Every structure is written in structure tokens, then in C-alpha cells.
Chain A
Amino acid sequence: MRPASVSRLVMALAIGGLLAGPVAAEGLARPEGEVFLTVSGDLATTNAPEMALFDSALLASLGPVEIRTSTIWTEGVHSFTGIPLKALTDALGVVGGTLRMSAINDYMVEVPVSDAIDEGPILAYEMDGKPMSVRDKGPLWLIYPFDSNSDYRSEVYYSRSIWQLDRIEAVN
């Protein structure tokens, strides 16, 4: 058997796994309010055809956390509330690859799934206890805990700190 046939076989098995996905996706509820985040790509769990759609309630159900940090774009230390990126990837069964994130202002950046760790970045939707509007870099802003981890205070993480985020595509 030639190696190419092996790859094909593996791919076939993988596709088989994906076909089994909708069954597993039964665990994720459907959004009832206005959808403000669309996740697509290689997801193990979805709530729409090949996609996971979130309104603010559904996202908040993933277990919000609060981090306090300063950023290079704001003055002073602020409190940010949101869902850890890890909670999202866990919920959607994203285990590797890259998260291609896009913003309302057409900014786009690729965040490796490996960034999704405990004490890692959060998808913030409140700043200082108030929901963030588009003018305030809402509806979602990927915030790394810059103050508590100096590794995050670099251009790489600054560039990944996408605001006005509304779409994520998981790319393997």
C-alpha cells in the first residue's frame, strides 16, 4: 500500500468523525437573543449547521471570569469580564490549530488554539461592569492578562488582542 492511500484512509476516518459531530452537538443550546459571535470551522460541537452561534446569555453560560489589567490602548487599570478562550474551545471541542478571528472593523488575526489556557486570554464583553459598545471596542475584545503575566506584554499578544470581534473560524 502506498503512503498516499494511508493518508486517504486517515482522512476518511476523520470525516467519519465529523459526521458524528451533530450528535455530540446536542449539548450546546441554541441562541435566543441577538447573535453577536459566530464560530465556524472545525468544531466538535455546534448549535447551527457547521457553526456555533452565541448571544450574550449563551456565551455567559460558559462561565464568565473577571480579570483586572491595564492595556496599551486604555488609560489606567480596568476590570474586564468575559469568557476564557479556553472555555470556548473546550465547549466547542477545538483541540488544536488556529483560531482565525475577525472584527467589525475588518481587522483579522490568527490566534493559535494553544493560547487558550487557564489564566490565559478572555473574550471580554464587559469593561468595568458595563457592556462594551462598538465604540468601546465591543461587542467582544480578546484581553490577555497583561499585568499578571509579562510574557503577554509583547507585540505578538498586542496584535492578537482583537477588539470589535464578531467572527471566529477554527482552522486546523
Chain B
Amino acid sequence: MVVALLSAVAVILVLSLDVVRKIDQQSTASTDNVQWSIAQINVEYLQLLLAMERAIAGTETLEEVRQRFDVFYSRMITLQLSPVFAVLREDPDYTTSFSRIWDFLTRRVILIDGSDADLRAGLDEIAAELRDLRGDASVMGLTGIRVFASRTDAEREGIASTLLQVSVLTLGLILGMGILAATLARMNAAIKRQVLENQIQGERVKAVFSTSLDAVIVTDADGRILEFNAAAEAVFGYSAAEALGQDIAPLIIPPALREAHWRGMARYRQAGAKHVIGAGHLRMTAMRKGGETFPIEAAVSVSTGADGEIFISYLRDVSAQVAAEEELYRARDDALAGEKAKAELLAVMSHEMRTPLNGLLGTIELLQQTRLTAKQRQYHRIMESSGRLLLHHVNDVLDIARLDSGKAAITSQRFDLAPLLRDIVENLTPMALAGENRLRTSLPADGRTVIAGDPVRLRQILLNLVGNALKFTRNGEVRIDVARRDAAGQIDIRVADTGIGIRKEDQDRIFDDFVTLDASYTRSASGTGLGLGIARRWARALGGDVSLESEPGVGSVFQVSLPLSGPAERPASGEVAEAEAQPEPPVGRSLSLLVVEDNPVNRLVVREMLESDGHAVAEAQDGQEGIRLAARHRWDAIFMDVSMPQKDGVEATIAIRKSGGASADSPIIALTAHALPGETDRFLAAGMQVVMTKPVSRDALRRVLRQVLGQGDERPESAGARVHPAVPTEVPLIDQSRLADLIATLGKERAASLFQAFVDETDPVVAGWRGLDLVATPQGAAAMALQADAHRIAGSAALMGAARLRAHLAEAEAAGKAGDGMRLAEHLQRAADLWPETCSALLAQG
């Protein structure tokens, strides 16, 4: 723009000078002798002619003629030679006329320059010739005027055109200047606005900076402090005057951290590496003026200042926050420690309470076999029921501990619901009668009462719910209705009463622990307030739930919903619950058994119970004695208390297994009051086969013996042939959480097709395992193939949560690797045994 304007000015200047020059020429044209010279052609011609005619007439001298001739002659030469008249000489008319006159002058000059006499004599002739040239003189003059007039016109036009150009350019220039001026004005306004905005912005930033609650420190690239706000003064203890211009590091960074700070700054300068800058809020340690260090939260950003990069640090003193956080952590740790202490207390309690209880109940049971009077039998009954109730409460508390620790041992087996309900009704009929209540059950109409699940836990749930219903019902009815809902894959058991009901606001609360509502009736049985909580916990542990509908004054309905899972061949848990109600027949032959137990009462109870079934029982008072006896004699089975002074049951078991003594391969049954599931692993790992929880009952003893020895048949020579290999028996058939994860991940349909594929693929392989020979055990390539199959299927089983199947397959694989063909075969057989149950459980999920 400016260049264009300057060019325009230059052009205008040049043109103006041109115009001035041309106008100057025009102004001086009047004095220009060119026009005059041309006009003089005629004048001087006529003067010459006049001079001649007067000389002829005698009124003029010859001298005058000569002079006029010379003047005319001179004019002609000038016209002929001067460059000024060159343009005329191009005109043909002019040239012709000039030639005639010039011819006359050159011819007659001799006469003019000659003597007066000759001149006078020729004067008439010359004059006559000159007269004939009059037209030519006129032509020359007129041509000259015409040519120079047109040239002047052209010059004027040139001037006019130049003036026009100047005008146009001037107009353009003015326009350009106008635009430039407008632009400048706009720019000026914009700059003014910008300046104002900057000022406002600056003031705002200043206000933000000075009123910030966080300390704000601005430094240059070398760490020199440029800004130090009021909050920074308060936090760090330096005044702004002290801080400004100082290196930030010695001021606010603790000595131990300065080296790291300088390294970080150097790294940033060299490589632009940012660790702190732009990393958001970082927890760091800073230092106050007095050298006290304290925690800060820092956010550092980089910006460009007037002299290069500047660093803006927002620093917040978080001492109080950190202290509060630490307090919180402490409180949490304390709470966790408290929880742990509670769990430990429960475990100790279980031991301390169940051991004497074990003695008490065992003795009561023994007492029954003695001769008693009618009165004594009545007392005996009271003692027994009181003892059972006490045991029930202890078990309640232990159940809570187990369920809350997520380690509840759950079995899945096929069982008939009808006898279970019958048993519950029988058990609770006295209580129903006491409350003048009717107790009724209704089973599914189609009579399909066989379901899969954990009968022990279901029984416990229903006992709790029905017992609770009877407690709060008088002169009414308690119904147990079973509805099988195959489509939803679940079974609903409703316990409905016509009792006092539960208010809406209490309906959730009653499932909480130790909640006993203000009952209208005196309690017929003492309650811990744990019953409903336990029922719900167990139901949830089984994959179901307990729900409640109730109307005060009308009644309550507790509904247990449980998933229908696949059939089970047999109870799989190594833990035999004492509450199992089915009576067990005694083992069909006399066994030689060893009981290792430090508590004399418990030892007596167990021995009496076993002897009453016709077995030969030896006792050992501690682990050491047990080891000695086991080495000497081959026992059919050894009952081993876990908690004993000095050598405990676990150590003793390990010693027996390692001893290579007579009973090194005998089944060992753990007796423990430690019911927490985590410990079972330890016992089984030590070489025990089954874990029994005290107190023990005769039925439990019979069942365990049958389990470890087979169905009471002759004990085969091959040691432990029917004793199932040591696999952690509390491994659940199905790891429900794993399975749920898988289904959640894949979706129900894809999971179902995956399970089907797994079943189809595995079925033929498993069929081959059933016929494995345990005597001529697989060796070499055959063993390798079996091991490979086990490995492959174990992987799939793990994926689908078939935990127990996987455990046996893993054992089989390990045995194969170790070259133990027999253990390989045993575990594969066991896996084959588990197979139908596992299939059903998986396919039921689809």
C-alpha cells in the first residue's frame, strides 16, 4: 500500500514536472521566434520586393535593396539549416516553394554582389522574377503556420492528456491515502482496544494473582523469582521483597531435594523433558523460611514472558489435608485390625466353646445308653436339647464368620426335598404345637422333588425361617410351599405364616445381625437375632436369596429362591456336618482304629462311640504318642485331633506319612474345632483325607469311616485304593464367581454354546478314563497321552470354573510328570466320576 502510494506520488511528480515544462513552453511560445521567423518569410519577401520597386522608381538606394536581399537570404538559410524547421522541410509543398525561392536567390546573388550599374540594369528583371515567387513565399509561410499550429495543438493535447493522467493519478492517490488513513485509523483503534484489553487483562491477572489462596510464584528460566504473591508470603514466610530476584531453590526447596530440582531443570532446558511441568497437581515437599518442611500440592506450568520462558508455580499448603488423610488411614487400619481381631476371637471361641460342648454332648449321648430311671431320662432329654441349642448358637456365630469371610464350604448334590421337609416338620412339630399352630407343607404337583444343591444348608435355612415363623405365630398356620420354576432355572420355597407380621420399615432390618424386634410374645426359644441373617447369607452363598413380604397383623411370607443345578453323585465335601440328619448304619465290620486326642473327655467320647459300633480303638494322648503307635501297628484309620500341645495333628500327620511305618498309608481323619475353611487346605496338604468338625456324632463317625474305607467292604491290599487321592476336597464343584464372570463376559448364549462344545469334546475322552487299570498302570506313551489330555481339559475346565474337575486333572498331570502312573490313573478316574455332575452344572447354566 505504502509502496503503491509512493510510486503514485513519484509518477505524479514526474508528470507534473512534464506539465510544468510543457506549460512553460506554451507560455513562452508567444515570444518564440519560430512563429515570428515563419511570418517574417512574407514580410522580408515583401520588404525586398518593395525595396526593389522603389529602387526602380528611384526613391530608394541600391544599398537598401542589397540589405533586404541579405535579410531575406539570411532567413532562407536559417530556414534551410536550423533543426527547428526540420519538420517543415518534410512538407513537399514547402520544399517545392523553398527550392524555387532558393534557386532565385542563388542565381541573383551574383548580380546583387556585383556593381551598382549591373544591379541597376538587372533590377527590373530581378523584381519581375521576385514577383512571380510571391505565391511560393506565401505557401512557405502558411505551411509553416499550419505545421507549427498543429504541433502546438498536439503539445496542448499532450498537456491535457498528461493533466488528465495527473488528475486520475491524484484521485487514485487521494483514494489510496483515504484507504490508508482509514486502515490506519482502524488499526489505531484496534491497537487502542488491544492496549485497553491488555490493561484490563493485566489488572485481572494481577487481582487473581494477589488474591489467590494458593501461593503463586513466577520464576524465569534460571529459577529467579519474578513474582511472589501474598499467599506465598503467608505460606513460606518470606516477604515479597525478600523473595524477588532470589533463586527459588534455596528458598523453598528442602536441601535434600535441591539436587533433584536442579537436575530436573537442566533436563528440561536440554531436552525439554517435563516431569513436573504441566503434570497437574503433584504432591511434593517444600520448606518454610525457618527450615520447616511441609507437604504441598504443586502445579507448574510454563509460559513465555518478555525475556523468554517463565515458570508459574501454584503451591498449596496441604499439611492439614495430609494430616487428615493420615488420620483416616490410621482409622481404617485400626478398623481392619479390629475386624481381624474379631475373626480371631471367633476362631478361638469356636475352639474354646465347642471342645467342652463336644465333651458334654458326647457324654450325654453315652448316658443315653446306660440304664436310666424315668426321671433321669427326662433330665437327660432336657440336657441334650439344651446342649443342642447351645451348639446351634455357637454354629450360628461360626456360620457368620465363615460366610462373611467368603469361605463357606458348599456342596452340590442331588437330593430329595420331600424327606428334608418332612424332617423339618417333624423337628418343629413340638414347637408348632406349643404355639398352637398348624405346620403344613405342599410339594410340587408333579412330584418332582429331587433337586440339586446343598441339603445341609437348605435345611438350615428352612429351619431358621420356619422356626422364626412359629415364634411369631399363635393359633395360626405356617405353610411351606415348594414351587419349581424350571423356566427360570430356580426353585422357590415359601414359608408363610399368619403371625404378627413385620412393619415395612423393619422388613430390611430384620436380616441384619443381632436384630430382635420387640416381640409381642415371649420367646419360646432364646434367639441370638442371627437366624434370618444367616438364612439370607446362606441363600446368597448358594446363588439365591431370601425375600420378604409382610403385613402387620396378617402375616409374613419369606421366600427362598435357589438355582436348580445339576445332579450330584455323592456328597463331595470332606467336611461332614454334624447336623446331617440321615441316620447312618454302622460300618459292616470291626476295624482297628487309633484316636489321637489330648483332651481326655473328647478322647473318651470318640472311643466310646467307635467301640459301641464294635471297633477296636486305641488311644494316644498327644501327637508324639500317635506317631509312635502309627509306626508300630497298621491302623485301618487314625482320628487325629489338630490342636494338641507340642506336636499338633498336622505335624503328626506329616511325620506318619513320611515315616514309612506300618500306618504310613492309613487314612487319617482330622478332628478340629477350627471350623474356618481356610485351614482345611493345610490339613489336607499335610496328608489328612477328611476333616471332621467337633463335636462329633456317631452318625458322622460312621459316614466318615465309610467314606475313607469304601462301603464297608474288605479293605483291598492296595493301600489307599479306595481312599480318594488328596485333592482339596472343599474345592467347589463349580467356582460360581468364575462362571458368572464368564457368562457376563460372553453373554448367556455364547457361554451356553461354549459349555456344550466343551461337553461334546470331553465326553469321549472321559469315557476312556473310566476303564483305566489301576494295577497295570499306564506307562510311557500311553501315560504321556493321558497327561496331555488332562492338561488340555484342565485348561478348559479352569476357564469355565469347573474347579473340582480341574483340581483332579491338575493332580493327574502332575502325577504323570512325576512318572506316578497309579496316581495319574486314580485322579483321572476321579475326574471321570465328577464328569456327569460337572456337565449338568455347566449345561444348567445355559
Binding site for B on A (CB under 8 A): 72-75, 104-107, 109, 133-137, 154-156, 158-159, 163-164
Contacts and interface: CB of A to CB of B under 8 A. Distances in A.
Given A73-B78, A105-B40, A156-B31, 7 more contacts: A74-B81, A104-B70, A105-B75, A134-B73, A155-B32, A158-B33, A164-B71
B77 interface: yes
A135 B77 contact: yes
28 contacts: A72-B82, A72-B83, A72-B84, A73-B81, A73-B84, A74-B81, A75-B81, A75-B83, A104-B70, A105-B71, A105-B74, A105-B75, A106-B43, A107-B33, A109-B31, A134-B67, A134-B71, A134-B74, A135-B73, A136-B74, A154-B24, A154-B28, A155-B28, A155-B31, A156-B31, A159-B31, A159-B33, A164-B71
A107 B24 CA distance: 23
B385 interface: no
Give 4 nearest A-B pairs by CB, closest first: A134-B70, A155-B28, A73-B82, A159-B31
Contacts of B81: 73-75
Interface in B56-97: 67, 70-71, 73-75, 77-78, 81-84
A135 B32 contact: no
Contacts of B40: 105, 107
B233 interface: no
Interface string B30-46: 01110010001001100
B29 interface: yes
B194 interface: no
Interface of A is mostly: loop
Contacts of B70: 104, 133-135
Contacts of A105: 40, 44, 71, 74-75
B108 to A, nearest CB: 13
B83 A159 contact: no
Interface of B: 24-25, 28-29, 31-33, 36, 40, 43-44, 67, 70-71, 73-75, 77-78, 81-84
Given A73-B82, A105-B40, A107-B36, A164 B31 contact: no
Contacts of B24: 154
Given A155-B28, A159-B32, A74 B82 contact: yes
A105 B25 CA distance: 25
A75 B77 CA distance: 11
Contacts of B77: 135-136
Given A74-B82, A105-B75, A158 B32 contact: yes
Q: Which of A109, A135, A156: most chain B Cβ within 10 A?
A: A135
B72 to A, nearest CB: 9
B112 to A, nearest CB: 10
B666 to A, nearest CB: 144
Contacts of B29: 155
A103 to B, nearest CB: 9
Contacts of B67: 104, 134
Contacts of B73: 134-135
A104 B47 CA distance: 12
Contacts of B43: 106
Nearest to A74: B81
Nearest to B80: A75
Contacts of A158: 32-33
Contacts of A159: 28, 31-33
B32 A137 contact: no
A157 B225 CA distance: 82
Contacts of B84: 72-73
Contacts of A73: 78, 81-82, 84
Contacts of A155: 25, 28-29, 31-32
Contacts of A164: 71, 74
A156 B28 contact: yes
Contacts of A137: 74, 78
B692 to A, nearest CB: 139
Nearest to A137: B74
Nearest to A159: B31
Nearest to A160: B31
Contacts of B36: 107
A155 B84 CA distance: 11
A170 B71 CA distance: 25
A158 B77 CA distance: 17
A110 to B, nearest CB: 10
A104 to B, nearest CB: 6
A154 B20 CA distance: 13
A42 to B, nearest CB: 23
B137 to A, nearest CB: 15
Contacts of A107: 33, 36, 40
Q: Which of B24, B25, B31, B74: most chain A Cβ within 10 A?
A: B74
A72 B83 CA distance: 6
Contacts of A136: 74, 77
A72 B87 CA distance: 13
A135 B81 CA distance: 13
B203 to A, nearest CB: 68
Contacts of A104: 67, 70-71
Nearest to A103: B71
A167 B475 CA distance: 172
Contacts of B75: 105
A32 B75 CA distance: 31
B33 A135 contact: no
Contacts of B44: 105
Nearest to B29: A155
Nearest to A70: B83
Contacts of B28: 154-156, 159
A104 B24 CA distance: 29
Nearest to B26: A155
Contacts of B74: 105, 134-137, 163-164
A74 B83 CA distance: 7
B816 to A, nearest CB: 124
B217 to A, nearest CB: 77
Contacts of B71: 104-105, 134, 164
B721 to A, nearest CB: 141
Nearest to A73: B82
A69 B763 CA distance: 134
Contacts of A135: 70, 73-74, 77
A155 B152 CA distance: 14
A110 B812 CA distance: 144
A24 B567 CA distance: 167
A115 to B, nearest CB: 14
Contacts of A106: 43
Q: Which of B25, B28, B70, B84: most chain A Cβ within 10 A?
A: B70
Q: Which of A74, A105, A159: most chain B Cβ within 10 A?
A: A105
A107 B34 CA distance: 12
Nearest to B77: A135
A118 to B, nearest CB: 25
Contacts of A133: 70
Nearest to A76: B81
A164 B71 CA distance: 8
B197 to A, nearest CB: 61
A75 B40 CA distance: 21
Nearest to A109: B31
A151 B237 CA distance: 87
Nearest to A157: B28
B83 to A, nearest CB: 6
A134 B28 CA distance: 27
A74 B40 CA distance: 18
Contacts of A75: 81, 83
A133 to B, nearest CB: 7
A105 to B, nearest CB: 4
A116 B260 CA distance: 96
A160 B70 CA distance: 21
B840 to A, nearest CB: 127
A112 B32 CA distance: 17
Contacts of A72: 82-84
A136 B71 CA distance: 9
A154 B31 CA distance: 11
